[in-house]
């Protein structure tokens, strides 16, 4: 019994006997039927609620017929096989029954075909069911896949699947939009073909190999926006999905546009490091920037300074005009302070009415006075707050790195202390932390004011120093040397005021004056002294950097009616090397005018001979440091000799500066130097004495 095949058979039959016969027959055929007999539509329908393997159906029954039973079965379960087992059926009926879906028919008096037919039907039904099950499962999978795809398509993050070489097999809508890709472009395309090398490198470069190696890569990156509008910050996760052997089968990429977060972070960062009222850096950021500035100065040399600015009388402004006006004043002060300074300087609000300025890259400590000067000039115009004009002055404390402290905190504290000293002295005052700096600072600022007045009052005059032709002893040229006749201090040498003229830009008008004065003087002397060929004028950094220089020189020549060849301009070697390109251009313009150009202080600078060779020059002036120990110092003798021969080889005239002794004079003459200038021949002379000297020289 155990190996009998169980089968659930529903028998539609009006005769209990026939049904039993059928069951017996099935048993005899090795089956273990579990069966039920029904004989009406209602019974059949009710029984079909259960699961059956097979229906065996009589064809003709009283009150119910086989075709009706077939219909009921088909409606319930089209896969449930139905075989007619009937006394008689007739060919036409049999054909009709098969057409309607009966699986087979067997005659009651010859059941031999029943067993194979039944087995066949059970098998077929089984595979039909299996097929349907598979189809249903596939449909379910497909539905699930479609749902997942819809979810991925709808997610706002980029989701993509690619192979380790970066060939895409999936990318969602957000991804296509982010990368600026259309739908069509994608099937299996590789990122390296879709994008520029740079972008492909950004997308794949570090992340893909790392993910293949470590299983995943997570990080942030900036992707050029598809529409060209800047960059999009992304956070990106690349995960490697391995096959059974641990080889990377494919990679999934999830990336999120984090612009908003970045913006928010930047805002937070800004809020944490800036003052709400003025938008200036706060103390925190100031300290931070100073740290790095000081590190820089430590490496590169030079100075840095912190200036503490405290508004004078701010309390009175606040009390009398109200806090709103006070706030406006502070905001305006902030803006104006910033506009007075270089972008590299840091202006910070320290709190209340205190501002801090950090300046670095100072060549000299005095350069900090430039900042004071700029701020003073900047605040000569009142601040407008509502309908009020407020004149702003500050009490300023200055601490200089490294004199007044090597750490940020010390410098700030000392600048603060210095500021209190300035406050005690009254409004609109400044104090250095180191007292000696105050004297120097005051002196410089006082001198600056005096210099401005000197320009107005024309306190400058020219001295002239003759250049003597060594061979003939004749005076060939005069170098114009500026002097300042100070009402109290007397005659001030150029070394004491030229740097200040440079810093303040006053050198440009003063330099113009020197040019014109020298040209005018030359014109007068030339009438009497035809041996005198020219006058030589020194040009400073600021003048040489002025693109108008050639035009100014041209204008002076025309105005004073001096031929261009009568004027020589002296430019120091170092000045020429500052900006070789611009120097070349400016010299060419001067050369085109016809004026001569001399390299002043030659030998102490760093010019390359190869470079000098290409410039349109006329004269080398050997610096006096090489001349002073002639002819005893053998090194200097060699240098001077070499300079003379070099000058001549380059087709230049050679002048020796600072000739103080007869020995030097002879040495130079013996080595073919063209002109000598120095106390031995003549010191610089006041204009009024030049005539007398020239007369004597003859």
Residues that bind Mg ion (CB under 5 A): 538, 570, 600-601, 657
Please tell me the distance from the alpha carbon of residue 215 to that of residue 249, in angstroms, as a whole number.
11
Nearer to ligand C2E by Cβ, of 108 and 621: the residue is: 621
Q: Taking CB within 5 to 8 Å according to partner kind, which of Mg ion, ligand C2E, none is near residue 287? A: none
- For ligand C2E, give the closer residue by CB, 546 or 601: 601
Task: Please state at what angle helix 408-424 crosses helix 283-300, rounded to 10 degrees.
Answer: 110
Question: Minimum distance from CB of 662 to ligand C2E (Å)?
Answer: 12
Q: Name the residue nearer to ligand C2E (CB basis): 611 or 679.
A: 679
- If the CB atoms of residues 514 and 562 are measured against ligand C2E, the closer one turns out to be 514
Count of alpha carbons within 13 Å of 596, Cβ hemisphere only? 23
* Burial letters 442-470, b for 16+ CB under 10 A, else e: eebbebbebbeebeeeebbebbbbbbbbb
Q: How far is the CB of 537 from ligand C2E (least distance, A)?
A: 6
Decide whether 39 or 583 has the Cβ nearer to ligand C2E: 583
Asked whether 346 and 289 are in contact (CB, 8 A), the reply is yes
Residue 658 interacts with which of ligand C2E, Mg ion, none, CB < 5 to 8 Å by class: ligand C2E
- Looking at the Cβ atoms of 304 and 475, the one nearer to Mg ion is 475
Q: For residue 674, what are the CA distances in angstroms to 43, 477, 541? A: 141, 12, 27
Nearer to ligand C2E, 383 or 492 (CB): 492
493 binds, among ligand C2E, Mg ion, none (CB under 5 to 8 A by kind): ligand C2E
Q: Is the peptide bond between 631 and the residue preceding it cis, with omega within 30 degrees of 0? A: yes
How crowded is residue 9: how many other Cβ atoms within 10 Å of its Cβ? 22
C-alpha–C-alpha distance, residues 579 and 571, integer Å: 13
Q: Which residues bind ligand C2E (CB under 6 A)?
A: 465, 480-482, 493-495, 498, 511, 514, 538-540, 570, 600-601, 624, 657-660, 678-679, 684
The entry of ligand C2E, Mg ion, none near residue 655 (CB within 5 to 8 angstroms by kind) is: none
Judged by beta carbon distances under 5 to 8 A according to partner kind, the member of ligand C2E, Mg ion, none in contact with residue 172 is none
> Could you tell me the smallest distance in angstroms from the CB atom of residue 610 to ligand C2E?
25
Minimal distance, residue 530 CB to ligand C2E, in Å: 25
Name the residue nearer to ligand C2E (CB basis): 310 or 623: 623
281 contact, one of Mg ion, ligand C2E, none, CB 5-8 Å limit per kind: none
Nearer to ligand C2E, 219 or 509 (CB): 509
Sign (positive/negative) of CA torsion 30, 34, 38, 44? Answer: negative
Shortest Å, Cβ 525 to Mg ion:
19
Residue sitting closest to Mg ion (CB): 570
Q: For the residues of 450-507, what is the DSSP string, one character each?
A: HHHHHHHHT-EEEEEEEEEETTT--EEEEEEEEEEEETTTEEEPHHHHHHHHHHHTTH
Cβ at position 543, least distance to ligand C2E in Å? 6
Tell me the HSE value of 354 on the side-chain side, using a 13 A CA sphere: 16
- Residue 6 interacting entry, from ligand C2E, Mg ion, none, C-beta within 5 to 8 Å by type: none
Q: What are phi and psi of 282, to 5 degrees?
A: -95, -175
Residue 164's SS3 state is coil
* Partner from ligand C2E, Mg ion, none contacting 414, C-beta within 5 to 8 A by type: none
Among ligand C2E, Mg ion, none, partner that 441 touches (CB below 5 to 8 angstroms by kind): none
How near is the Cβ of 625 to Mg ion at its closest, in Å?
A: 10
495 binds, among Mg ion, ligand C2E, none (CB under 5 to 8 A by kind): ligand C2E
User: Shortest Cβ distance from residue 519 to ligand C2E (Å)?
Assistant: 13
- Distance, in Å, from the CA atom of 522 to the CA atom of 517, rounded to the nearest integer, reads 9
- Beta carbon of residue 534, minimum distance to ligand C2E (angstroms, whole number): 15
Q: From its phi and psi, is residue 168 left (phi > 0), alpha (psi between -120 and 50) or beta?
A: beta
By beta-carbon proximity to Mg ion, the closer residue of 428 and 461 is 461
Q: Which of 237, 223, 388 is nearest to 321 (CA)?
A: 388
> Least Å distance between CB 644 and ligand C2E?
18
With respect to ligand C2E, which residue has the nearer C-beta, 54 or 515?
515
Q: Which strand (E) or helix (H) includes residue 413? A: helix 408-424
Work out how close the CB of 452 gets to ligand C2E at its nearest, in angstroms, rounded to a whole number: 18
What is the spatial distance between Cα 621 and Cα 668, in angstroms, rounded to a whole number? Answer: 13
> Is the CB of residue 410 less than 8 Å from the CB of residue 304?
no
Given phi > 0 = left and psi -120 to 50 = alpha, else beta, which region is 309? beta
* Cα–Cα distance for residue pair 345/320, rounded to 1 Å: 33
Q: How far is the CB of 479 from ligand C2E (least distance, A)?
A: 6
C-alpha Rg value of the chain to the nearest Å: 52
User: Of 644 and 659, which CB lies nearer to ligand C2E in the complex structure?
Assistant: 659
Residue in the block written with tokens 């100065």: 297
By beta-carbon proximity to ligand C2E, the closer residue of 371 and 539 is: 539
Dihedrals phi, psi of 163, to nearest 5 degrees = -85, 170
Q: What are phi and psi of 532, to 5 degrees?
A: -75, 115
Q: In the numeric block, which tokens belong to residue 140?
A: 């379910």
- Report the residue number whose CB is nearest to ligand C2E: 678
> Smallest distance, Å, CB 460 to ligand C2E?
8
660 touches, from Mg ion, ligand C2E, none (C-beta below 5 to 8 Å by class): ligand C2E
Element holding 514 (H helix, E strand): helix 507-528
Cα(220)–Cα(237) distance, rounded to whole angstroms? Answer: 9
């Amino acid at each position: 019994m155990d190996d009998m095949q169980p089968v659930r058979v529903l028998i539609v039959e009006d005769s209990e006997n026939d049904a039993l016969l059928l069951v017996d027959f099935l048993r005899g055929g090795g089956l273990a039927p579990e069966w039920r007999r029904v004989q009406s539509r209602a019974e059949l329908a009710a029984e079909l609620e259960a699961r059956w393997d097979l229906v065996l159906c009589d064809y003709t029954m009283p009150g119910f017929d086989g075709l009706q039973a077939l219909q009921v079965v088909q409606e319930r379960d089209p896969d449930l096989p139905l075989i007619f087992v009937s006394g008689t059926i007739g060919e036409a009926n049999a054909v009709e029954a098969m057409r309607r879906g009966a699986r087979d028919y067997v005659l009651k008096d010859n059941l031999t075909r029943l067993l194979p037919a039944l087995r066949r039907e059970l098998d077929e039904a089984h595979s039909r069911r299996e097929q349907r099950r598979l189809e249903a499962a596939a449909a379910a999978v497909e539905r699930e896949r479609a749902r997942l795809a819809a979810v991925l398509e709808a997610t706002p993050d980029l989701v993509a699947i690619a192979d380790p070489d970066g060939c895409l097999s999936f990318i969602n809508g957000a991804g296509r939009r982010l990368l600026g890709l259309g739908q069509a472009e994608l099937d299996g395309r590789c990122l390296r073909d879709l994008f520029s090398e740079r972008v492909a490198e950004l997308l794949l470069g570090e992340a893909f190999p790392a993910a293949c190696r470590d299983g995943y890569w997570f990080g942030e990156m900036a992707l050029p926006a598809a529409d060209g509008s800047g960059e999009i910050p992304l956070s990106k996760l690349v995960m490697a999905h391995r096959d059974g052997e641990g080889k990377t089968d494919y990679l999934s990429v999830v990336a999120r546009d984090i612009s908003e977060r970045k913006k928010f972070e930047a805002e937070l960062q800004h809020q944490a490091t800036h003052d709400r009222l003025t938008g200036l850096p706060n103390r925190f950021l100031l300290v931070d920037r100073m740290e790095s500035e000081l590190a820089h100065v430590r490496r590169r040399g030079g100075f840095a300074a912190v200036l503490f600015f405290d508004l004078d009388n701010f309390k009175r402004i606040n009390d009398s005009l109200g806090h709103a006006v006070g706030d406006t004043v502070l905001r305006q002060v902030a803006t104006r302070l910033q506009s007075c300074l270089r972008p590299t300087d840091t202006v910070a609000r320290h709190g209340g009415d205190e501002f801090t300025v950090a300046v670095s890259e100072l060549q000299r400590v005095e350069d900090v006075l430039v900042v004071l000067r700029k701020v003073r000039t900047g605040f000569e115009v009142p601040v407008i707050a509502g309908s009020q004009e407020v004149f702003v002055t500050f009490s300023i404390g200055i601490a200089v790195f490294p004199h007044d402290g090597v750490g940020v905190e010390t410098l700030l504290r000392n600048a603060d202390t210095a500021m209190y000293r300035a406050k005690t002295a009254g409004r609109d005052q400044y104090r250095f932390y180191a007292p000696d700096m105050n004297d120097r600072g005051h002196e410089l600022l006082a001198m600056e004011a005096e210099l401005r007045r000197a320009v107005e009052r024309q306190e400058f005059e020219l001295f002239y120093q003759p250049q003597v032709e060594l061979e003939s002893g004749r005076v060939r040229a005069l170098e114009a040397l500026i002097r300042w006749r100070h009402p109290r201090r007397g005659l001030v040498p150029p070394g004491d005021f030229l740097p200040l003229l440079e810093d303040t830009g006053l050198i440009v008008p003063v330099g113009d004056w020197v040019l014109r004065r020298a040209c005018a003087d030359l014109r007068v002397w030339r009438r009497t002294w035809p041996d005198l060929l020219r006058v030589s004028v020194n040009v400073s950094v600021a003048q040489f950097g002025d693109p108008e220089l050639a035009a100014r020189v041209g204008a002076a020549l025309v105005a004073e009616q001096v031929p261009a060849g009568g004027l020589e301009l002296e430019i120091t070697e170092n000045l020429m090397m500052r900006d070789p390109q611009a120097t070349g251009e400016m010299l060419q313009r001067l050369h085109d005018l016809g004026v001569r150009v001399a390299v002043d202080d030659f030998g102490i600078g760093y010019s390359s001979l190869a470079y000098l060779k290409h410039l349109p020059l006329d004269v080398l002036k050997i610096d006096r440091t090489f001349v002073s120990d002639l002819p005893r110092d053998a090194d200097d003798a060699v240098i001077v000799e070499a300079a003379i021969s070099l000058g001549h080889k380059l087709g230049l005239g050679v002048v020796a500066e600072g000739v103080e002794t007869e020995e030097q004079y002879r040495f130079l003459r013996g080595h073919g130097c063209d002109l000598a200038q120095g106390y031995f021949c003549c010191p610089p002379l006041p204009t009024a004495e030049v005539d007398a000297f020239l007369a004597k020289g003859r």
